[in-house]
Amino acid sequence: MDIKLAVLIDGDNIPSAYVKEMMEEIAKYGNPTIKRIYGDWTKPDLSKWKVVLLENAITPIQQYGYTKGKNATDSAMIIDAMDILYSQKVDGFCLVSSDSDFTRLATRLREAGMQVFGIGEKKTPNPFIVACDKFIYIEILKNQAEEDESESVDEKPSSKDNIDKITAKEIKFISHTISDLADDDGWAFLGDVGSLLQKKQPNFDSRNYGFQKLMPLIKSIPNFEIERREDSKGRSKLIYVRIKEKSMKRGK
């Protein structure tokens, strides 16, 4: 059963170009029963939002900027979020912004037992990212939209500028996570590895590196090996992963 989500969008801080892809992404994690976007709709720079709001049934909330240099949108979003929290109508929140001002809000919502998903650009400050259960970069959604247009289904990393390269830092991070979960033979269930990677680093996503799933990402790194096993009922394959260096040392 899908969890009910409140989707709150900072209209002053998020581009409107990929709203369709963003809403499709949110639907993977729950049912967005509340969808609101905040901004001063008298400003011409928010005019691009008007069409996509109707297409995606997102309710615009007018918030005037009473004082120059102050962001009234943030305050309105935070107040609404707390009202929704206390109404007990949802199980989680999706905060769409690249603004670190929502860090405390995300932390407070999680303290109340809510699941919190964040969506923002890669420029989003780390404190807001780590305050969420999961954080998705808009650049990922941009890549997916472009791939859909070109009808490309290639699992290999793209050469686009906003695809991150897998470095020694990422390999070490994955290795430590596998070690945390490994059995006596060094094997760890890939599903558990993916969950722990996200808990440790909410913005970790295989799509950041050009892969739709974690398994192709792991397979692309020579440090790891993968094994498929049948479950106890023989109905499906379970995927396990371990660090090659350890397995080679054990074999010596």
Class for domain 168-251, per CATH? Answer: alpha beta
Asked if 188 contacts 181 with a C-beta cutoff of 8 angstroms, the reply is: yes
Length of the chain: 252
Select from 9, 1, 39 the least CA-distant residue to 117. 9
Q: Collect all residues with Cβ–Cβ distance below 8 Å to 80 and sequence separation of at least 6.
A: 8, 36, 38, 61
Residues paired with residue 37 on neighbouring β-strands, in sequence order: 9, 60
Give the pLDDT of the chain (252 residues) as one tens digit per residue: 689 999 999 988 888 888 888 999 999 999 999 999 998 888 877 778 888 888 888 999 887 765 554 456 788 899 999 999 999 999 999 999 998 999 999 999 999 999 999 999 999 999 999 999 999 999 888 777 666 555 544 555 444 556 788 899 999 999 999 999 999 999 999 999 999 999 999 999 999 998 989 999 999 999 999 999 887 766 678 999 999 864 445 444
Burial class (CB in 10 A: 0-12, 13-18, 19+), 204: buried
pLDDT value at position 124? 94
Distance CA 133, CA 39 (A): 25
Residue 121 CB coordination number (10 Å): 15
* DSSP single-letter state for residue 110: H
Q: From the CB of residue 99, how many other CB atoms can be counted at a distance below 10 Å?
A: 19
> How is residue 69 annotated by DSSP?
T
Distance CA 181, CA 85 (A): 34
152: its two tokens? 């490309």
pLDDT value at residue 247: 43
Q: CATH 3.30.420.610 in the chain: give the residue spans.
A: 168-251
CATH of domain 4-150: 3.40.50.1010
DSSP state of 3: P
CA atoms of 191 and 17, how far apart (whole Å): 32
The residues of the chain that CATH labels 3.40.50.1010 are 4-150
The first and second tokens of residue 238, run together, are 């379970």
Closest by CA to 183, choosing from 229, 221, 236, is 229
